[in-house]
Amino acid sequence: MKYTVEQVRQMTWSQWNDAMAKELNEAGFRARGYNPELRRWENNRELYKADPSDPTIFILGTVDGAPEYEHLKKVGLLNNGRCPMCGEPIYGNPGRFTSGYDYNAHFQICQNCVNKGRRTSVNPANRRGCIIALLFLPYYLIKGLF
């Protein structure tokens, strides 16, 4: 089914996630799942399910591949006027979210989520780098003088 902007914006967040899960399952995509016999996680094991308790986990955690994102774009559920990170309508110029694991996996997000992402870093080294550099600064200054 091809979804329009109006259809996507009228859905609740859980309905939207359910529609994405349904489309992915019907297209033959499968999510990661735990294999108890092998005692490990495997790709392409389980059907996609939307978690109504925390809808942000679906698009940012459960769906993690470029082919899945491209399929959702093709049917009109992504890049169709709604931000997958916060659920709000996208007005104006959309931002772009790119997965850190697969640079081909990207979708549009609202400017509010773009600005939130600029304030914090997922990498803890980015939050402590300046302090460490300041600690070593006197050493390098003295070393450079002599």
Digit-by-digit pLDDT tens for the chain (146 residues) are 799 989 998 998 888 888 998 999 899 888 877 778 888 777 777 888 877 666 666 776 778 788 988 999 999 999 988 888 888 888 889 998 888 777 888 889 988 888 876 655 445 555 555 666 667 777 777 877 77
Whether residue 131 is contained in a domain is answered as no
Q: How many domains does the chain have?
A: 1
Residue pointed to by tokens 């259809």: 7
Please tell me the predicted confidence (pLDDT) of residue 3: 93
Whether residue 68 is contained in a domain is answered as yes
Whether residue 37 is contained in a domain is answered as yes
Whether residue 139 is contained in a domain is answered as no
Please tell me the predicted confidence (pLDDT) of residue 1: 78
Please tell me the predicted confidence (pLDDT) of residue 17: 86
Whether residue 142 is contained in a domain is answered as no
Please tell me the predicted confidence (pLDDT) of residue 64: 72
Whether residue 125 is contained in a domain is answered as no
29 is in which domain, residue-wise?
Answer: 5-120
* Contact yes or no for 20/56 (Cβ under 8 A): no
Please tell me the predicted confidence (pLDDT) of residue 37: 84
Q: How far is CA 27 from CA 8, 68, 94, 138, in A?
A: 19, 9, 27, 60
Number of helices followed by number of strands (H, E) in the chain? 6, 4
Residue pointed to by tokens 């070393």: 143
